Structure 1
Amino acid sequence: MATMNDQSRPSAAGSGRAGRGGGGGDARPVTLAEALGVLFEQDLHPATGTSRHTIDSYKTTFRLLVRFLEHRRPELLPPSTPVERFDASLIEAFLRYLRQERGCSPATINVRRAAFGSLGRALQRRYPHLTAYSHSLLAIRSRKAPEVLVGYFELRELEAIFKAIDSSTVDGFRDLCMLRCLYNTGARASELCGLRLSDLRLCEPAHVVLHGKGGKSRTVPLWSVTTDLLRAYLKAARRTPKAGHEDFVFIGRRGNALTRQGLYKIARLHLQAAARKLPQLLRPELHPVCSFRHTTATHLWMAGVSLPEIQDILGHVRPETTMRYRALSLERKRHALDRLLALRSNKPHWAVAQTALEWTNSQQAIDWLERL
């Protein structure tokens, strides 16, 4: 039998206040601080499999937003400000600020935009009354970014870079080992810097496990020259790591695991050194680190390796990403055009071209075309 207190107590269903994942009864204001807590502590927590780089990138986005608000909309800075006041028009103004005043590229703008899209999805799942606001964040248009041509190294350029490294020093030997690994495996900068001793297998069959985007891992075989370099590096050239960095393969001068920024500076230094003998290494489409990955893919394609195999080695999710590596080298393009010019002719290509200049009537021209 229910007591008077039981009868007078409102039920959870009729209280008008549902939980975070409730069916829409909770219409209380949600602050920006609470929204960011949901995003970073629940949706983007490393335990969910989100990449550490993604988390850091999104944190940078919201730090930049705070700097923007300090100068443009300081009244929105208090943590109690409802998240709905950060509407799509304000976010668009923030993205324009990044482009026009900070000089960010369209690709970077799209990365910043993605952070707000993730925030919108997180709010939509937990606060049904914010569905319209969430949709407005998701509707922010992306910027059209021009496709950036990342160049690759010809074989003689690659050898020039390796020869420019003074491998008689501890750091020089480490650098040679790193760049050789980049070329052998086609690893991304983050994958190489995050490489751990437990990811290496230097006995037969030698291979390395790379941990890529989205928590996906792949196994890449190692050439004997790469394996020998790694063995020698680990035995005699690896610096003593600091506490917490013992399992990382590549260690910097201060005992920390090498960072992507550190790898970029090292690769750029050796690229510039090699360019003293090969000035073409300074062409703008070459990237000190990314071009090694592009070189691996392009050389594999030129060697006759199929695109699905290249996709597996590089860890691409979409085949379309791998398709861009089908470009031929300039040397192969030149040979291809020479073969076209001399097709079905026993004469050298310059002689075939000369016959084109010796036409005396239209029939001779037609006969020449028939022989092609």
Structure 2
Amino acid sequence: MNPTCFARYMSKYLTEYLPGIQGVSYNTIASKRDAYILLLKYLDDTQNIKAEDVDIPLLSRETIIKYLEWLEKSRGSSVSTRNIRLAAIKSLFSYIQTQTPDYIYQCQQILSIPRKKEPGHTLEYLTVEGIKSVLNAVETSSRTGLRDLTLLSLMYDSAARVQEIADLSVNDFRAEKPSTLRLTGKGSKTRIVPLMSTTSDLVSKYISIYHPSYRGEYNVPLFSNRKKEKLTRAGIAYILKKYVKIAREKQPDLIPEIVSPHGLRHSKSMHMLQAGVPLIYIRDFLGHSEISTTEIYARCDSEQKRKAIENTCPSITKSETPMWQKDTSLLGWLQSL
């Protein structure tokens, strides 16, 4: 069977162009690959077109739009996920139009598909007391409990992305004071973040129990499951969800409805901001490339806004109750209007 043009270009894009020319990370390639797998599944399920028969002429602008609608309606994907899948398709067709001029018009038609506007959402994060509640829910009398407490404490203290935690090796941790953690983020960029002494001591104890024979080898996963394989994103989310549920049962007022691994990153960022750490330092701590990305925390911190306004603006509102409020008949008349 001869490969179609689409199969050939997609293969070269994923295996040669992205890793070799653009130098993107494996996780970025995997995300794009998943979008293409879903597109092929959509064509098979809805139009009975097998993957080996899919070619560029079949992938019209209308087909891609229907695929995006299918993602939302049939798979229940969010608008954000829809836009991520669209971006992956656009990047592929942007590459295809540079490789063959035969389909340049069709490629430009697909590239003109607009992103769908995402609904606004509030930034979910835990208070300091909420973080303590989740950590206190971990029973540390077992090996697994020690691992989970170390994992959650490190996620919060380092404000790491969940994939950065999953990818940690034992040699990424430095126990010597001042203790640090090396994180590898988006685009394979690394950064060094400081750790609190209590977190550092906890990680050291964990390593002594889980990696007693470690002698400085590289690529030894810091956190692993029962099969000795490194924890996945889903595995980490499952661990957090378990203790969030326990904490919510004990102190429901402290735990928001939704708490995700990324929520611990948001929580640490907000707590740093509330403690007076400048945004530019928080940006570097989080590994953001632009300060505008970090500014979302300043916009969400209503308590800090209130304090800033109180410190800079004089209070001119009278605190005493106006005398006319004692006239119940007047109040009754006004309320009846």
Check if 1:37 corresponds to 2:11. Answer: yes
- Residue aligned with 2:181, SS: strand
Matched to 2:176, the amino acid is C
Preserved contact between residue 179 and residue 200 of structure 2 (Cα < 8 Å): yes
Aligned to 1:219: 192
1:353 aligns with 2:319: yes
SS where residue 79 of structure 1 aligns? helix
User: What is the Cα deviation at residue 332 of structure 1?
Assistant: 5.9
Q: Which has the larger radius of gyration?
A: 1
Distance 2:204 2:21 in 1: 34
Letter in 2 for 1:287: V
For residue 270 of structure 1, the aligned residue among 243, 248, 251 is 243
Q: 2:111 aligns with which of 135, 138, 149?
A: 138
Residue aligning to 2:333? none
| 1:108-257 alignment, distance < 5 Å | 108-237=81-210, 247-257=220-230
User: Residue type of the partner of 2:186?
Assistant: K
Structure 1 residue 64 displacement after superposition:
1.5
What CA distance in whole angstroms lies between the structure 2 residues aligned with 1:79 and 1:328?
A: 48
Does 2:294 align with 1:322?
A: yes
3-state SS in 2 of match to 1:283: coil
Q: Secondary structure at the match of 2:259?
A: coil
TM-score by length of 2: 0.86
Shift in Å at residue 159 of structure 1?
A: 1.1
Cα contact 2:156–2:264 (8 A) shared by 1: yes
Is residue 68 of structure 2 the alignment partner of residue 68 of structure 1?
Answer: no
Contact 2:90 2:111 survives alignment (8 Å): yes
SS in structure 2 of the partner of residue 40 of structure 1: helix
Distance 1:163 1:316, change over 3 A: same
SS at match of 1:316: coil
Which has the bigger relative contact order, CA under 8 A and spacing at least 6? 2
Structure 1 match to 2:331: none
For the Cα contact (< 8 Å) 2:247–2:255, is it kept in 1? no
Distance 2:218 2:72 in 1: 37
CA distance in 2 between counterparts of 1:125 and 1:30 reads: 17
Shift of 1:51: 2.1
Distance (whole Å) between structure 1 residues aligned to residue 268 and residue 44 of structure 2: 46
Deviation at 1:125, TM superposition (A): 2.2
Measured in 2, the distance between the counterparts of 1:70 and 1:80 equals 10
CA distance in 2, matches of 1:336, 1:114: 39
Q: Which moved more, 1:306-315 or 1:317-326?
A: 317-326
Residue 359 of structure 1 and its aligned partner are, at CA, apart by 7.2
Number of aligned residues: 321
Q: Is the contact between residue 250 and residue 258 of structure 1 (CA under 8 Å) also seen in structure 2?
A: yes
Looking at structure 2, the residues matched to 290 and 81 of structure 1 have their Cα atoms a distance apart, in angstroms, of 37
The DSSP-based 3-state class of the residue aligned with 2:182 is: strand
Query: d(CA) in 1 for partners of 2:105 and 2:79?
Result: 27
Q: CA deviation at 1:270?
A: 0.6
**Residue 103 in structure 1 maps to residue 76 in structure 2:** yes
Q: Quote the sequence identity (%).
A: 28
Kept after mapping to 1: 8 A contact 2:6/2:54: yes
After TM superposition, give the deviation of residue 169 of structure 1 in Å: 1.0
Give the 3 Å change call, closer, same or farther, for CA 273–94 of structure 1 in structure 2: same
Q: Tell me the distance in 2 between the aligned counterparts of 1:46 and 1:68.
A: 29
Q: CA deviation at 1:31?
A: 1.9
Which residue does 1:58 correspond to in 2? 32
- Over 3 Å counting, the alpha-carbon distance change for 1:121 and 1:336 in structure 2 is closer
The structure that is helix-richer by fraction is: 2
Q: What CA distance in whole angstroms lies between the structure 2 residues aligned with 1:78 and 1:106?
A: 26
Structure 2 portions without partners, runs of 5+: 326-337
Structure 1 unaligned regions, length at least 5? 1-28, 361-372
> 1:312 — aligned with what?
284
Kindly indicate whether the alpha-carbon contact (under 8 Å) linking 1:245 and 1:256 is maintained by their aligned counterparts in 2. Answer: no
Alignment partner of 1:107: what SS?
helix
| Residue identity opposite 1:358 in structure 2 | M
Distance 1:55 1:328 in 2: 32
User: CA offsets, 1:204-254, max 9 Å, x none?
Assistant: 23111111112211110111111101100000145999xx99611011122
Q: 1:238 to 1:341 in 2, by over 3 A?
A: same
- 1:238–1:251 contact (8 Å) kept in structure 2: no
Shift in Å, 1:71: 2.8
* Structure 1 residue 263: Cα displacement: 0.5
Alpha-carbon spacing, 1:136–1:38, altered in 2? closer, same or farther (3 Å): farther
